[in-house]
Structure 1
Amino acid sequence: MRPLAFDDPTFDYQTRRAAAYATYRGAELGEVLATVDGAEDGEGVEDGDYVGWYVAWRATADRVAGEAESALAAGHEETARDALLRASNYYRTAEFFLGPDDPRRLPTYERSRETFRAALPLLDAAAREVEVPYEGRTLPGYLFEPASSSTSSTSSPSPSAEARPTVVAVGGFDAIAEELYFLCGVPAALERGYAVLAFDGPGQGAPLRYDGLTARPDWEAVVGPVLDFLGDEPTVDDDRTALLGASMGGYYAPRAAAFDDRVAACVAFDHCLGVWEAATFGKESVASLVEQVPGPVVNAVASLRARLDPGARWQLRNSEWVFGVDAAGLSATLKEYSLVDVADRIECPTLVLAGEDDHLMPLPLAYELVDRLGGEAELRVFTREEGAADHCQVGNLSLAHGVVYDWLDETLGRGS
């Protein structure tokens, strides 16, 4: 696919990722392009310039958030809502390339959450913040329900409210719960009558940033408490609860489904047979050689590559943060995140999505995952002609979410 704004594939993909959320009022293409082109100072963001990226996106986010404040003060709630959703996405994008210890990271992340939460009372749906009990802590998230489920966006659903089929949105390697509103198409789900729970798990969002909770491979231990929590919600149909795992969530969600029979359906969006399998696909001999090299040498080589390649620099730094290991320890850790030995335990209906040009999840691994699944499985491969061949189909979320929710309608029975 022709680059949108950058020659560097990582910078270009993140630009397209930000722009994709225009589908749900989370961006405007003109604002996105003006940001990376440097509309204010005439100097666009350069490939690999992490600082320039942050400065440009932070400026746009601040400006749009200011527009939201002015609109709200004037009583223009619809305008304020849309600006708040865009600002939240732009703050998330500004934070993206910052190092874990960068003093700008937490304040920028907090602004993403603040603007998103400020938009919740203005949505055409019931939306409330929730805290899921988890191993002596809580996991933060949001429960969205069609507006008819409650009398206001902040009140609890009434006991007489209808129990609805429910989607649990599961994020991935660099996920935050707020982004899942856009990435998993929460507005599309609400239109069809589904309730949706989006949350941060270990290695993601607030648990990683505030509590230092790194990722874990056994996500049945994470999803289990989420399903327990939903079991107490009167508007949730316990027999029609699906997992929708986005990006590396395409591993997390099927992994949970393999060990928890409360999952009625599972969507891998995209597929993720295994993190190590994806990272080393087509490079198996090099990966084998690296595993035989002493740890200090691995760390030195990884550091050198990171200095030369902006995408590799972000991936290494974020991997060390999310998984809590250095470069030398990554291979052993990433191998734990694999469905190879458990996919046959997944008995619920499963939909696997794949893009033919996905730069993170090689297409052949999608076919292998489907072959290994123990229950009914369906694979949908998106093409470049559809504009949806990229990772998580960010070029055409309307198409991807149509496929997902049509399939869930047929599998779970559509909500009302």
Structure 2
Amino acid sequence: MDAMRKGQRWVLDAFLAVGGLDVLHPDAGAIFEQIGYDSTDLKRVFGPVKAGSMLPSAWSGAAKEIEHRAQHWEERGFTRTARRLYERATLLYARTHYSILGDDPRRGRYLEKVIESFKKVIAFSDHPIERVVLPFEGHHLHGILETPPNAKKLPCVIMLPGMDMFKEDWHKLMEQRILPRGWAAFALDGPGQGESLTKGLKMSLDNYDRAITAVIDWLSAHPAIDPERIVIMGSSMGSWWATRAAAVEPRIRAIAANMSNLGDKFVLLNQAQPSFMANLMYMTGITDTEEIQALSKAMTLDDIAPKVSIPYLIITGENDELTTLDSSIGVYGKLRGPKELWIYQYEFHPIGPQSDEWLTASLDWLEHALEDCFAPKHELRTFITKQGEYLEGSGEPPWWHP
């Protein structure tokens, strides 16, 4: 990372000491809780943190305590209590693992703790969960498939995490909001993400496209999955990867782009926290700052979006700090299939306060897409105010038009 971006870290550290998690992303705690993090764990981690360098220790300290509690209840035979605690420990160990950038042996050690904890979740689960390892271009893709009991030929949602997420982040959402629909769900650590990255699979401009094809190949042969009803929920940078894949993979039926990051990556690398540039450099294996900037300039959807003709939903915050609203609207305008745009007033990247709403609503939207509820030219833009008004029309913030 260049000297200027490294030099900005003291600013982030100073604000972390005062503002905690909200400094990284305003109102992020709300969506963390929706996807399974315990609020007391988050408070314990961020309460004493005075600098970003303290985060791995804070995450790991909380993880060890929760794992110890899980082991106690497991020994007593209280498997449901143990399962919930192992779920918490998995997420906390995974955050520790994520927080250690680079080919560091400590990162590998914490990955083993993630795997160990999640295997306990699988052992005590009431439904089938598979840890999936797929050969891919000399390395491996790592994923999690969750299905209802006795599943056969069900619709499947592929969950694509963002740059600072991982497949285990989606377990509770899959268990609580997807499986009850009678659907299956697959969460992926693609190139440059999570377990796949730690085990050597770097991200390039286009290898994530091929990774999704490899996943769909595998899912299509699985007896629990209907290969004609595969959709994608791509969150944050996952929305960008999903869009690229949809332009070349005809088996994707629909996409929900949540907390979307569809525009160019200038804001992400040059105006957001310096950790994003460091993260992208590790994800790609690029060590030269000019080369990473050149890659970011190629990471546009201007020529990709017009090739996407399947139903497509964009959900974004008006004040997303990692992209611009203009760029999201620009990509939306280039899509060629049925499409909708939901803009949440005053919300930042996590769209945290309304995350309970949009997480479920985006799944409902995908269900409508699978049921062919949208006409070929369907197009709807909705601006959603803080007071719960749903203003249909241009989708633009009212203040744009005095």
1:10-409 residue pairs with structure 2 within 5 A?
12-13=23-24, 17=28, 20-24=31-35, 26-37=36-47, 44-46=48-50, 49-149=51-151, 161=152, 163-182=153-172, 185-279=174-268, 311-312=273-274, 314-325=275-286, 326-384=288-346, 389-409=347-367
Deviates more, 1:314-323 or 1:57-66: 314-323
Is the 2:263–2:331 Cα contact (8 Å) retained in structure 1?
no
- Provide the secondary structure at the position in 2 that maps to 1:361: coil
The letter for the 1-side match of 2:304 is V
Please state how far the C-alpha of 1:405 moved relative to its aligned partner: 1.0
Is the 2:31–2:350 Cα contact (8 Å) retained in structure 1?
no
Give CA-to-partner distance per residue, 1:40-79, whole Å, 9 cap, x none: xxxx211xx2332222221111000111111111111111
Distance 2:302 2:257 in 1: 15
The letter for the 1-side match of 2:301 is L
Report the equivalent of 1:412: 370
Is the 1:176–1:204 Cα contact (8 Å) retained in structure 2?
yes
Q: Residues 365 and 321 of structure 1: is their aligned pair in 2 closer, same or farther, counting only changes over 3 Å? A: same
The letter for the 2-side match of 1:345 is K
Please state how far the C-alpha of 1:130 moved relative to its aligned partner: 1.5
Please state how far the C-alpha of 1:104 moved relative to its aligned partner: 2.4
Q: Residues 196 and 331 of structure 1: is their aligned pair in 2 closer, same or farther, counting only changes over 3 Å? A: same
Distance 2:371 2:309 in 1: 18
Please, what is the CA RMSD of the aligned residues?
Answer: 2.6
- Provide the secondary structure at the position in 1 that maps to 2:143: strand
Distance 1:211 1:279 in 2: 24
Is the 1:195–1:236 Cα contact (8 Å) retained in structure 2?
yes
Is the 2:97–2:107 Cα contact (8 Å) retained in structure 1?
yes
Is the 1:67–1:83 Cα contact (8 Å) retained in structure 2?
yes
TM-score, normalised by the number of residues in structure 1: 0.79
Distance 1:22 1:339 in 2: 31
Give CA-to-partner distance per residue, 1:265-292, whole Å, 9 cap, x none: 01112223234254379x8xxxxxxxxx
The letter for the 1-side match of 2:141 is L
Is the 1:278–1:365 Cα contact (8 Å) retained in structure 2?
no
Please state how far the C-alpha of 1:13 moved relative to its aligned partner: 3.1
Is the 2:27–2:351 Cα contact (8 Å) retained in structure 1?
no
Give CA-to-partner distance per residue, 1:127-181, whole Å, 9 cap, x none: 11112232344311111111242xxxxxxxxxxx3x1111111123233221232
The letter for the 1-side match of 2:24 is Y
Is the 1:19–1:28 Cα contact (8 Å) retained in structure 2?
no
Is the 1:214–1:321 Cα contact (8 Å) retained in structure 2?
no
Please state how far the C-alpha of 1:332 moved relative to its aligned partner: 1.0
Distance 2:201 2:232 in 1: 25
Is the 1:353–1:381 Cα contact (8 Å) retained in structure 2?
yes
Distance 1:10 1:331 in 2: 27
- Provide the secondary structure at the position in 2 that maps to 1:266: strand
Please state how far the C-alpha of 1:14 moved relative to its aligned partner: 6.4
Unaligned runs of 5+ in 1: 38-43, 150-160, 284-308
- Provide the secondary structure at the position in 1 that maps to 2:99: coil
Is the 1:172–1:252 Cα contact (8 Å) retained in structure 2?
no
Distance 1:115 1:252 in 2: 28
- Provide the secondary structure at the position in 2 that maps to 1:219: helix
Is the 2:247–2:308 Cα contact (8 Å) retained in structure 1?
yes
Is the 2:162–2:236 Cα contact (8 Å) retained in structure 1?
yes
Give CA-to-partner distance per residue, 1:216-241, whole Å, 9 cap, x none: 33532111111111110122111111
The letter for the 2-side match of 1:407 is W
The letter for the 1-side match of 2:129 is A
- Provide the secondary structure at the position in 2 that maps to 1:391: coil
Distance 2:175 2:208 in 1: 22
Please state how far the C-alpha of 1:194 moved relative to its aligned partner: 1.2
Is the 2:191–2:203 Cα contact (8 Å) retained in structure 1?
yes
Distance 1:148 1:275 in 2: 43
Distance 2:39 2:20 in 1: 19
Distance 1:76 1:16 in 2: 34
Distance 1:364 1:190 in 2: 35
Q: Residues 15 and 185 of structure 1: is their aligned pair in 2 closer, same or farther, counting only changes over 3 Å? A: farther
Q: Residues 233 and 101 of structure 1: is their aligned pair in 2 closer, same or farther, counting only changes over 3 Å? A: closer
Aligned residues: 357
Unaligned runs of 5+ in 2: 1-14, 373-402
Distance 1:251 1:13 in 2: 21
Please state how far the C-alpha of 1:207 moved relative to its aligned partner: 2.2
Q: Residues 55 and 400 of structure 1: is their aligned pair in 2 closer, same or farther, counting only changes over 3 Å? A: same
Distance 1:11 1:21 in 2: 11
Distance 1:126 1:36 in 2: 34
